[in-house]
Structure 1
Amino acid sequence: MRFVVVTGMSGGGKSTAIHMLEDAGFYCVDNLPVFLIEKFAELVAVPDNGISKVVLGIDARAGQKFEEVAGIIDTLKERGLPIEVLYMDASDEVLIKRYKETRRVHPMNVNDIGNRIEDGIAKERAVLTEVKKRADYVIDSSKLLTRELREELDRIFVRNEEYNSLMVTVLSFGFKYGIPSDADLVFDVRFLPNPFYIDDLKHQTGNDKPVQDYVKSFPECGQFLDKLTDMLEFLIPGYIKEGKYQLVVAIGCTGGQHRSVTIANELYNRLKAGDGKFGIKLLHRDVKQAR
């Protein structure tokens, strides 16, 4: 039997994850009151009941004794129930944006609608602290597309592949449009010759082979990529060990269309060919800017 508890921040993607798991064949129950969790677990754990995959969604709503959930999870594990905890998270900035778009009241503010969204988020994070410590899987949906979330859930709960706690985003950008605000590591590749000044390459991008061939024809390009790849392969295991969930590696050139795109593409391919202990995706922020 597989018993998955889905919880996390309101607006972090819990409902979406539950619906996706339901599509994958899980029997799903959402918003079950805390005091019914143990009884529900006992009922679904009965042998030969025809249910082999269960998802239970739990929200940290105002008025519920959510602080008891961590203890309940411990108790169920001690009884031998194969319980797994999926914690859906997102940055404060993303959560605020999502709530402003939907105009919903944050669940932690229902008894005091005068409180700011930020207050509700801070209160919820505090309430969820102990449950998050018990999470088997933490997925930060801040930058995930719907299809990327579905792929991650499918990999964990359908294909039963190893869970990658860290998602690395390789992001190209143009300095003329500003450094990405969410970048963790920023690398400047403007030391490489600029294809923009070559007529045949000016209106192409680093996604086109002629530009790639030009940029990679310089020895400095290969040397830089070797050193950068080596450094990231050294750093990433440390980030995973420290519990980091998102790492944005930003590669910048002047306009974000030639050199940075070429380097980002190559770096992505190199990291993707690694040991698979982290998730990785590729984004080009400014590649479609007018040239």
Structure 2
Amino acid sequence: MNSARRVLLVTGLSGAGKSSILRILEDLGYEVTDNPPLTLLDALVARTEHPLAIGIDARTRGFEAQAVLESLARLRAQPGPQHVELIYATAETEVLLRRFTATRRRHPLENSTGTAPGLAASIDQEITQIAPLRGAADLVIDTSDMPPPDLRRLIESRFGHQNDGDSMNVTLLSFAYPSGLPREADLVFDARFLRNPHYDPDLKVMTGLDQEVRDYVRQDPDYALFFDQILSFLKLVLPRFVAEGKKHATIAIGCSGGQHRSVTLVEEIAATLGRADELALLSDGPIAVMHRELARQGRSSWRWVRPPQQRVTPDEQIRTDPS
């Protein structure tokens, strides 16, 4: 089966990192156009057969959320082997305020006419203005506390591999419930009922990357059953995702601190899915692992359990600038 060309519409709040996302996509081989008039979207898509990323935000001529949604529906209805997705970049208001203050850039909706007086009011106005796009997005990326290298790895994991119709990118993600559900998650499992190494003074400072912690968690009488049930569920639903044409699935497992139980489960599931005898489950799609809370502490980073067949990984770092 021929690969379906990807067409990505990248939108979101000003200052949330849209320009950084577009730069990463350009590094990955996408043709990138930022802020074209909405009336030109069809022509842009028609003029190239390469993967395409188009930036759209409040600066775009003729910008209205409903008009963007209509353009998105029209592009998806066009005949031909292409896969159209909407990416939405966001960040907490306090973070956006700090970014604009640090760079001394003017918000696109802030002007001298009084229609959006002040930076905070401009941010609030934009949040309201483009809320329908967030609701319709295929992927919402919150860059509030996401280091630039992690943003790059996320985009590479999701969009750096041109899937054919028989494979899918899979990300296994551990997280802490008190820090919020990961917005990109397609499936979420709760490991908080398992025995918690946090209360063992020797294990508290360790993580699920350490064998001692894994052994402790596995000793819970319900661990093996829970693990087997997760695998059985994945074997049921992931092939259906592929059949629907879904190109990426994020499986998230959470616990209280995102350090012990969820990390243990993600590591064991990654090891199981990465084995050759499990290839039938996910075809030849790449598998990435991310421990969100450990990454925020600088104790872990993205890694590939099964890498994409072709992936560009530039050496340079990127900045998450207001965009």
Greater C-alpha Rg:
1
1:99 aligns with 2:96: yes
Taking a change above 3 Å as real, the CA distance of residues 30 and 212 of structure 1, as seen in their structure-2 partners, is: same
Q: C-alpha distance in 1, partners of 2:99/2:20?
A: 15
Taking a change above 3 Å as real, the CA distance of residues 214 and 54 of structure 1, as seen in their structure-2 partners, is: closer
CA RMSD of aligned residues (A): 4.6
Structure 2 residue corresponding to 1:266, chosen from 264, 267, 289? 264
* TM-score, with length taken from structure 1: 0.63
Q: Which residue of 2 aligns with 1:37?
A: 41
Deviation of 1:116 after TM superposition, in Å, equals 5.9
Is the contact made by 2:37 and 2:62 (CA closer than 8 Å) also made in structure 1?
yes
Taking a change above 3 Å as real, the CA distance of residues 208 and 121 of structure 1, as seen in their structure-2 partners, is: closer
1:215 aligns with 2:219: no
Is the contact made by 2:76 and 2:83 (CA closer than 8 Å) also made in structure 1?
no
Taking a change above 3 Å as real, the CA distance of residues 63 and 21 of structure 1, as seen in their structure-2 partners, is: closer
Unaligned runs of 5+ in 1: 46-50, 173-178
Taking a change above 3 Å as real, the CA distance of residues 212 and 39 of structure 1, as seen in their structure-2 partners, is: closer
Q: Which residue of 2 aligns with 1:120?
A: 126
SS at match of 1:180: helix
Q: Deviations over 1:25-84 (max 9, x none)?
A: 222210111123234344x24xxxxx7343222224487243223333444455536554
Identity of aligned residues (%): 17
Is the contact made by 1:18 and 1:28 (CA closer than 8 Å) also made in structure 2?
yes
Is the contact made by 2:75 and 2:84 (CA closer than 8 Å) also made in structure 1?
no
Within 5 Å, which residues of 2 pair with 1:156-195? 156-161=158-163, 162-163=167-168, 169-171=173-175, 180-183=178-181, 185=190, 187=192, 189=194, 195=200
Q: Deviations over 1:83-140 (max 9, x none)?
A: 543433356xx331331221366545654135363342132113x26xx64x6x4253
Taking a change above 3 Å as real, the CA distance of residues 41 and 78 of structure 1, as seen in their structure-2 partners, is: same
Deviation of 1:157 after TM superposition, in Å, equals 4.0
Q: Which residue of 2 aligns with 1:87?
A: 86
Deviation of 1:267 after TM superposition, in Å, equals 0.6
* TM-score, with length taken from structure 2: 0.58
Is the contact made by 1:251 and 1:264 (CA closer than 8 Å) also made in structure 2?
yes
Q: Which AA in structure 2 matches 1:215?
A: Y
Q: Which residue of 1 aligns with 2:68?
A: 69
How many equivalent pairs are there? 255
Q: C-alpha distance in 1, partners of 2:110/2:233?
A: 40
Taking a change above 3 Å as real, the CA distance of residues 261 and 113 of structure 1, as seen in their structure-2 partners, is: same
Is the contact made by 2:196 and 2:261 (CA closer than 8 Å) also made in structure 1?
no
Higher alpha-carbon deviation: 32-41 or 180-189 = 180-189
Is the contact made by 2:32 and 2:52 (CA closer than 8 Å) also made in structure 1?
yes
Q: C-alpha distance in 1, partners of 2:18/2:128?
A: 18
Q: Which AA in structure 2 matches 1:100?
A: L
1:281 aligns with 2:281: no
Q: C-alpha distance in 2, partners of 1:195/1:53?
A: 51
